[in-house]
Amino acid sequence: MLSIITPVYNSERFIAACIEAVVEQHCADLEHIIIDGNSADRTVQIIRQYADRYPHIRWRSEPDRGQSDAMNKGIAMARGTVMGVLNVDDAYEPNVLNKVVDRFQTLPEPTLLVGNCNIWDDAGRLVEVNKPSKLELFDLVMGVNMHPYPCNPAAYFYHTSLHQKIGYYLLDDHYSMDLDFILKAVQSATVVYVDQTWGNYRRLEGTKTVNDMQKGHMNQRVSLLLKRYRKDLPLLQQMQLSLRDRWATVTYFLKRPQALPDAIKTKLFKLSPEAR
């Protein structure tokens, strides 16, 4: 069985489309677990209406500690041997779930199966296609400009047993839990990349992810997380990355000497501040 988990809170605008996106996959061996955080709008009412019509929908609504807590509750409820996460404002490409179920028939356990993901803006324009083809830890911690990581769980699936090896989502992580999961998963699972587009991720104005990006916090969070996971690499690879980073810094300032701090300019050019 395939378990799809959807965390949701006050999302009456999207929940019906999210449920329909799973229904329209026509996947027989499926459960859709919806974890609501005690919404104050019509979200629960809509979930209940669909659950009365479709027996594959399982749900609960109660206060939680955020998205990570909701996903952990869904993982604990899951009956499937394979799992995916579909955020309430995202969707799948047609017939993806049946393809995924078929592929997992021959994959070793645990496996992380990754496809491509369309990224759409608020106006419905395609921004880019996320193609995370390099998925070893060494590749990922080099940074998104070198090798993009899977940007959204709508485009990857994995054996549920993987959580027995890497644990659940960190309750206090409300922003970078997906990337944290990926960086743990690639160290513990067989990783298989398929060059097919499976997911659709919408960067919607007003969501916590877009707000975090606009404030400039996301890049900082990602950078700190990647640096932390560099410590899991063999020492030689850590040294390689350190040398690469230093060379990148040197190259940057060779092209932009005006960006050097004044103290370094003084030493390099043997000029006092007055002479400059």
Q: Model's pTM, two decimal places?
A: 0.85
DSSP H helices in 92-194: 96-104, 137-140, 162-166, 177-188
The whole-number average pLDDT for the span 200-223 is: 72
Predicted confidence at residue 24, as pLDDT, reads 97
What are the residues facing 75 on neighbouring strands?
none
Look at residue 248 and tell me whether its pLDDT is greater than 60: no
What are the residues facing 111 on neighbouring strands?
190
169-192 pLDDT, tens per residue? Answer: 988 887 789 999 999 999 999 999
Look at residue 252 and tell me whether its pLDDT is greater than 70: no
To which residue do tokens 């590749």 refer?
A: 139
Q: Which residue has the higher pLDDT, 246 or 55?
A: 55
Question: Helix crossing, 177-188 with 67-77: angle to 10°?
Answer: 40
Residues 218, 36: Cα–Cα separation, whole Å: 25
Predicted confidence at residue 238, as pLDDT, reads 87
Q: Are 89 and 21 in contact (CB under 8 A)?
A: no
Residues 95, 99: Cα–Cα separation, whole Å: 7
Task: For residue 114, give Cα distances in angstroms to 94, 96, 122.
Answer: 16, 12, 25
Predicted confidence at residue 221, as pLDDT, reads 82
Look at residue 269 and tell me whether its pLDDT is greater than 60: no
Residues 69, 171: Cα–Cα separation, whole Å: 6
For 85, counting Cβ atoms within 10 Å of its Cβ (0-12 exposed, 13-18 middle, 19+ buried), the class is buried
Q: Are 160 and 61 in contact (CB under 8 A)?
A: no
What are the residues facing 128 on neighbouring strands?
119
CA dihedral of residues 249, 251, 252, 254 (deg, nearest 10): 120
Predicted confidence at residue 275, as pLDDT, reads 43
Look at residue 268 and tell me whether its pLDDT is greater than 70: no
Look at residue 204 and tell me whether its pLDDT is greater than 90: no
How much of the chain exceeds pLDDT 70, in percent? 84
Residues 240, 238: Cα–Cα separation, whole Å: 5
Q: Are 13 and 42 in contact (CB under 8 A)?
A: no
Look at residue 267 and tell me whether its pLDDT is greater than 90: no
Predicted confidence at residue 276, as pLDDT, reads 45
Residues 137, 149: Cα–Cα separation, whole Å: 10
Query: Hey, what are 118's tokens?
Result: 């369309």
Residue 96 φ/ψ, nearest 5 degrees: -70, -45
Q: Indicate the pLDDT class of residue 215, thresholds 50, 70 and 90.
A: low
66-89 pLDDT, tens per residue? Answer: 999 999 999 999 999 999 999 999
Predicted confidence at residue 129, as pLDDT, reads 97
Q: Are 6 and 86 in contact (CB under 8 A)?
A: yes
The whole-number average pLDDT for the span 214-235 is: 83
116-174 pLDDT, tens per residue? Answer: 999 999 899 999 999 999 999 999 998 878 899 999 999 999 999 999 999 999 888 87
